[in-house]
Amino acid sequence: MSSQTPANDRGPNISTRIIRVTGRVQGVGFRRSAAKAMERLGLAGTANNLTNGSVEMEVEGRIEALEAFTKWARSGPFTARVDTLEWRDGSAAEVTKSRRTN
């Protein structure tokens, strides 16, 4: 699944956040739900399964929307169980679409 979700604008209120969640987060629709949440919040980003069983998301957009997405990611979809969530902020990067990858 790939859907274009460009960030709404690029300015001082735009940032990038790397979020990693662990728990029952693979095989439960987490990445698909993350892509939908990014689109709903006007964010751009990617969600990828890691070999250690976690999901890592790189998300770009308005700081307020990043906060809302981070709050969503603490629980994810109802089919998931998030045990830990770690995140770090970075500078705005060229993240231009929300997609799932294997």
Out of 31, 52, 99, 102, which one is annotated catalytic? 31
Q: For the beta carbon of residue 39, count every other beta carbon within 10 angstroms.
A: 15
Please say if 52 is a catalytic residue: no
Out of 32, 49, 99, 100, which one is annotated catalytic? 49
Burial class for 36, CB neighbours closer than 10 Å (0-12, 13-18, 19+)? middle
Q: In sequence order, what are the residues at sequence separation of 6 or more whose Cβ sits closer than 8 angstroms to the Cβ of residue 35?
A: 1, 3, 5, 47, 98, 99, 100
- Report how far residue 101's alpha carbon sits from residue 56's, in angstroms, rounded to the nearest whole number: 11
Active site residues: 31, 49
